[in-house]
């Protein structure tokens, strides 16, 4: 019986698996979202969230730990300078998975893995509801009114 034996194998050697996960996390850091199978996305999410947590700490030691895991210094630099500071107030759940349905060729369950939005607009929309949505939409509504004004 394999009770409590969680291992992400998917028919690859340990070195291949480690490389696959590191490259997928680097692609997620570079592009902000990736499309992959559900099984891979669940494992990539685990590693990506650990890397963001290291990035939030921001020490030299955690930077070296991230470089040792991901093997790409430029992607770790982007993680520590751009992505992780946006999640300073968040206690976890830095990624989101959206299921797409089965893949045409082999019927594998596909999904999109992306970082949760962390800009002010989405925070304002979530925080204040309709009032914030009206405030965000108001500048867009003012532009056409200015164009319709009669010319002197």
- Look at domain 14-116 and name its CATH class: alpha beta
Contact 77, 129 (CB under 8 A): no
Domain boundary assignment for the chain? 14-116, 119-152
Contact 36, 44 (CB under 8 A): yes
Token digits of residue 64: 């070296």
Contact 103, 110 (CB under 8 A): yes
Write down the pLDDT at residue 121. Answer: 40
Over 90: is that where the pLDDT of 130 sits?
no
Q: pTM for the whole thing?
A: 0.76
Q: What is the pLDDT of residues 28-85, one digit of tens each?
A: 999 999 999 999 999 999 999 999 999 999 999 999 999 999 999 999 999 999 999 9
Write down the pLDDT at residue 117. Answer: 81
Q: Using 50, 70 and 90 to split pLDDT, how confident is the model at 149? A: low
Contact 86, 120 (CB under 8 A): no
């Amino acid at each position: 019986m394999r009770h409590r034996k969680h291992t992400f194998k998917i028919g690859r050697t340990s070195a291949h698996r480690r490389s696959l996960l590191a490259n997928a996390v680097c692609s997620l850091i570079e592009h902000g979202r990736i499309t992959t199978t559900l099984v891979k996305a669940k494992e990539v999410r685990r590693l990506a969230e650990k890397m963001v947590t290291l990035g939030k700490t921001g020490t030299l030691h955690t930077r070296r730990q991230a470089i040792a895991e991901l093997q790409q210094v430029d992607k770790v630099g982007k993680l520590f300078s751009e992505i992780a500071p946006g999640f300073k107030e968040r206690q976890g759940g830095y990624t989101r998975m959206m299921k797409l349905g089965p893949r045409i060729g082999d019927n594998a369950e596909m999904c999109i893995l992306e970082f949760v939005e962390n800009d002010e607009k989405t925070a304002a929309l979530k925080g204040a509801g309709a009032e914030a949505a009206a405030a965000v939409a108001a500048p867009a509504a003012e532009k056409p009114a200015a164009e319709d004004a009669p010319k002197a």
